[in-house]
A and B are shown apart, each in its own frame.
Chain A
């Protein structure tokens, strides 16, 4: 049996594959070779084989048959074997496999190994994928290593402890004594992971949080040293000393100061110092400032500090770096509710960000702009937002349109402005408006009685220009149906159309390919309604009769906004149906089929019991299919002769 190929050789081979199928073939061949090598219990090459398996696993091929081999490698005495074994365990195993429990003993031994690198491996692996049982068994060892003076091990033990606490929260108490002098360490690695451990404990337990509040002065001191110390080559990043540690400490301070006045006061000075002294020319400095701002906004800081924080965000907005603009907008969005006035000061910069090229920045700017709209700035803001609606990507239009409607409803300075704004949205982004806006808009228009004439005229004009945007067409049709008399009667400011022109437009909608079935329903209803308002009734009758009916659903109601009852016509005898003031009985219709081309009629008698002598009104809902698609129409009959109900 020739020696198994090295990992490099495998990689080189796979790179020569020109198709996915070729690669798969190579991998399968190598897997077979590896499997037989495993079967032979070959110690020498096990390490090499598992390394290859891990590579193939990364490419997406199954590697579960190597799990047990990882265990054998971990148990080996050679460091190179252990290394690959532990890596394999971290990549291939998790607590769902039973195999992982077998590792417990190995890890226990390795945690007490004489070589720190082996101990480190064990800590790393336990912290990565240890199950609750394993953590319970080995927590004592981890705790011991947390107290060692070896900083290499101490930092890893701290993160391993974080994992143990996550898996077995009851063990948190056990680590408490070891945390006593963690912060007096000089080694930054240990400091960093200790802060992470303290953060985890504080987030999990309010008692721990209260207990660790006394660490605030010490944390403040460490942070101060980091800022004030001169150049230190060990952890310098672009002239700032260990920014990662600074960010981590700031985050812990945030948790400790949140809802606690004393702690917040103790950290006030240092936060102001960091905010004013940090170098902002590079990303590093800005990362620290960002964290500082988040902390200031979350704790009980005094107002001067909060204004300082928001001003930092305002400066971020003007930065050339798009990443920084992005985080600024995200943070401002979080604070706009609590510090509304401070954020208002930066309104114009925020509105400028609507023109940014980056999608995430535009979205944040849009959300923030809507949050900043109020009664004072509504006109100016709406101008900008409508301009944005015109030019933005389709993915924004629905949200922007909804936002505009909401803002207009809350702060509209006048009814006319309100209707104009709605018109603008319908004409520029009409196809993106949400379905429920149509009934809402209709309600709004109904309630603005004095604007009916103006509205119907403007909507009619819009229809003449463009019938492709369905929500616009639907609202316009409805308005014309309701207020068509105002449209033709000369109450409008411009030249009024004549009845036939209006009917032309509505009929055009019925036949147009651009109209959806819902829209057709709206326009047919409008035409029917106009039969009571216009004089050209014959023309209307003709239009209605062209569209034959196959089923008829009747709605009876005693007042247009009250509850509706529907019962299906379906050309059979119907039992008595009850509604509020009427009792209805439908008798069998004269026939099942309405003849085409106006060659006949179908009659159905409805007996109405009307003891309270209420005015009879009928709403008819027709559903039929036209050229394969379902259509629904509404019509109202208001002109029953008074003798029928008096």
Chain B
């Protein structure tokens, strides 16, 4: 299962964090900084999977943003790698070519999208239209 998902920029600032196993607030900052450091020091010719303590990190870089997913040992790394891309494609569809600022200023919406895709560490839905349906309904409600 997925233990956490982070979106971090190159300066190490967290843009999105979601934990699916309880991690204390005081330890989160350290964990995030450590995880980010692991990923930032990797070069282009190194693979996207890192062994970290007793679980695995899978990361993907999109422009200046790193998406890092922490998973248990039993998870299929290549599949999670695809899932990250799927998530980005959903964001792309909603924000029409998503950029980091979109994520920053619409954090609550990004959380809603994430919740529609992943629930307690497992995939719930990968079809883009179905993921975005509640959010589209919410937007319509807010406009009216």
Indicate which residue in A51, A234, A359 contacts B127 across the interface (CB closer than 8 Å): A234
B86 at the binding interface (Cβ < 8 Å)? yes
Using known A-B contacts A244-B126, A287-B79, determine if residue A326 contacts B49 with beta carbons closer than 8 Å.
yes
Complex interface residues of chain A between 285 and 303 (CB less than 8 A to chain B): 286-287, 290-291, 294
Indicate which residue in B81, B83, B111 contacts A323 across the interface (CB closer than 8 Å): B81
Q: Which residues of B contact A237 (CB under 8 A)?
A: 82, 86, 126
Using known A-B contacts A58-B16, A237-B82, A357-B46, determine if residue A162 contacts B105 with beta carbons closer than 8 Å.
no
Q: Which residues of A contact B78 (CB under 8 A)?
A: 283, 286-287, 290, 323-324, 327
B99 at the binding interface (Cβ < 8 Å)? no
Q: Is the CB–CB distance between B124 and A287 below 8 Å?
A: no
A600 at the binding interface (Cβ < 8 Å)? no
Q: Which bucket holds chain A's interface residue count?
A: 35 or more
Q: Would you give the 0/1 interface string for B12-32, flagging 1 where the beta carbon is closer than 8 Å to chain A?
A: 001011001010010011000
Indicate which residue in B45, B83, B107, B119 contacts A358 across the interface (CB closer than 8 Å): B45
Write the chain B residue with the least CB distance to A128.
Answer: B120
Using known A-B contacts A79-B138, A117-B137, determine if residue A192 contacts B45 with beta carbons closer than 8 Å.
no
For the complex, give the distance between the alpha carbons of A593 and B87 in Å. 79
Q: Which residues of B contact A57 (CB under 8 A)?
A: 25
Q: Is the CB–CB distance between A325 and B47 below 8 Å?
A: yes
A11 at the binding interface (Cβ < 8 Å)? yes
Q: Is the CB–CB distance between A291 and B79 below 8 Å?
A: yes
For the complex, give the distance between the alpha carbons of A251 and B122 in Å. 14
Chain A interface secondary structure, helix, strand, loop or mixed?
A: helix
Using known A-B contacts A159-B119, A159-B122, A234-B127, determine if residue A360 contacts B51 with beta carbons closer than 8 Å.
yes
B104 at the binding interface (Cβ < 8 Å)? yes
A347 at the binding interface (Cβ < 8 Å)? no
Write the chain A residue with the least CB distance to B33.
Answer: A60
Write the chain A residue with the least CB distance to B115.
Answer: A124
Q: Which bucket holds chain B's interface residue count?
A: 35 or more
Indicate which residue in B43, B104, B126 contacts A11 across the interface (CB closer than 8 Å): B104
Q: Which residues of B contact A577 (CB under 8 A)?
A: none
Q: Which residues of A contact B119 (CB under 8 A)?
A: 124, 127-128, 156, 159-160
Q: Which residues of A contact B112 (CB under 8 A)?
A: 83, 87
B6 to chain A, nearest CB (A): 10
Q: Would you give the 0/1 interface string for A309-334, flagging 1 where the beta carbon is closer than 8 Å to chain B?
A: 00000000000001111110000000
Q: Is the CB–CB distance between B47 and A11 below 8 Å?
A: no
Indicate which residue in B49, B79, B82 contacts A360 across the interface (CB closer than 8 Å): B49
For the complex, give the distance between the alpha carbons of A159 and B122 in Å. 8
Q: Which residues of B contact A358 (CB under 8 A)?
A: 45-47
B33 to chain A, nearest CB (A): 10
Q: Is the CB–CB distance between A322 and B134 below 8 Å?
A: no
For the complex, give the distance between the alpha carbons of A192 and B125 in Å. 8
A381 to chain B, nearest CB (A): 25
Q: Which residues of B contact A11 (CB under 8 A)?
A: 104-105
Q: Which residues of B contact A242 (CB under 8 A)?
A: 126
Using known A-B contacts A237-B86, A287-B79, determine if residue A155 contacts B138 with beta carbons closer than 8 Å.
no
Indicate which residue in B29, B51, B77, B83 contacts A327 across the interface (CB closer than 8 Å): B77
B88 at the binding interface (Cβ < 8 Å)? no
Q: Which residues of B contact A564 (CB under 8 A)?
A: none
For the complex, give the distance between the alpha carbons of A58 and B111 in Å. 12
For the complex, give the distance between the alpha carbons of A248 and B14 in Å. 30
B126 to chain A, nearest CB (A): 5
A189 at the binding interface (Cβ < 8 Å)? yes
Q: Is the CB–CB distance between B81 and A155 below 8 Å?
A: no
B141 at the binding interface (Cβ < 8 Å)? yes
B34 at the binding interface (Cβ < 8 Å)? no
Complex interface residues of chain B between 35 and 67 (CB less than 8 A to chain A): 43, 45-51
Q: Is the CB–CB distance between B25 and A159 below 8 Å?
A: no
Q: Which residues of B contact A163 (CB under 8 A)?
A: 120
Q: Is the CB–CB distance between B122 and A8 below 8 Å?
A: no
Q: Which residues of B contact A492 (CB under 8 A)?
A: none
For the complex, give the distance between the alpha carbons of A117 and B136 in Å. 12
B14 to chain A, nearest CB (A): 6
Q: Would you give the 0/1 interface string for A55-80, flagging 1 where the beta carbon is closer than 8 Å to chain B?
A: 10111101000000000000000011
B15 to chain A, nearest CB (A): 8
Q: Is the CB–CB distance between A244 and B29 below 8 Å?
A: no
Indicate which residue in A152, A188, A323 contacts B49 across the interface (CB closer than 8 Å): A323
Q: Is the CB–CB distance between A79 and B49 below 8 Å?
A: no
Most buried by A among B29, B83, B122: B122
Q: Is the CB–CB distance between A159 and B82 below 8 Å?
A: no
Using known A-B contacts A87-B108, A159-B119, A323-B77, determine if residue A283 contacts B134 with beta carbons closer than 8 Å.
no
Q: Is the CB–CB distance between A156 and B124 below 8 Å?
A: yes
Q: Is the CB–CB distance between A51 and B49 below 8 Å?
A: no
Q: Is the CB–CB distance between A155 and B125 below 8 Å?
A: yes
A94 at the binding interface (Cβ < 8 Å)? yes
B69 to chain A, nearest CB (A): 14
A502 at the binding interface (Cβ < 8 Å)? no
Q: Which residues of A contact B17 (CB under 8 A)?
A: 58
Q: Is the CB–CB distance between A83 and B120 below 8 Å?
A: no
Indicate which residue in B28, B86, B107, B125 contacts A60 across the interface (CB closer than 8 Å): B28
B144 at the binding interface (Cβ < 8 Å)? no
For the complex, give the distance between the alpha carbons of A156 and B122 in Å. 11
Q: Is the CB–CB distance between B79 and A243 below 8 Å?
A: yes
For the complex, give the distance between the alpha carbons of A61 and B24 in Å. 12
Q: Is the CB–CB distance between B48 and A287 below 8 Å?
A: no
Q: Which residues of A contact B51 (CB under 8 A)?
A: 360
Most buried by A among B46, B125, B141: B125
Q: Is the CB–CB distance between B81 and A244 below 8 Å?
A: no
A257 at the binding interface (Cβ < 8 Å)? no
Closest 5 CB pairs of A and B: A287-B78, A322-B47, A358-B46, A189-B125, A326-B47
Known A283-B81, A359-B46; 12 more pairs at CB < 8 Å: A55-B107, A58-B107, A60-B25, A80-B141, A87-B115, A117-B137, A127-B119, A159-B119, A160-B119, A244-B86, A291-B76, A291-B79
A sample of 8 inter-chain contacts (CB < 8 A) reads: A60-B28, A60-B29, A94-B22, A127-B119, A234-B127, A283-B78, A287-B79, A358-B47
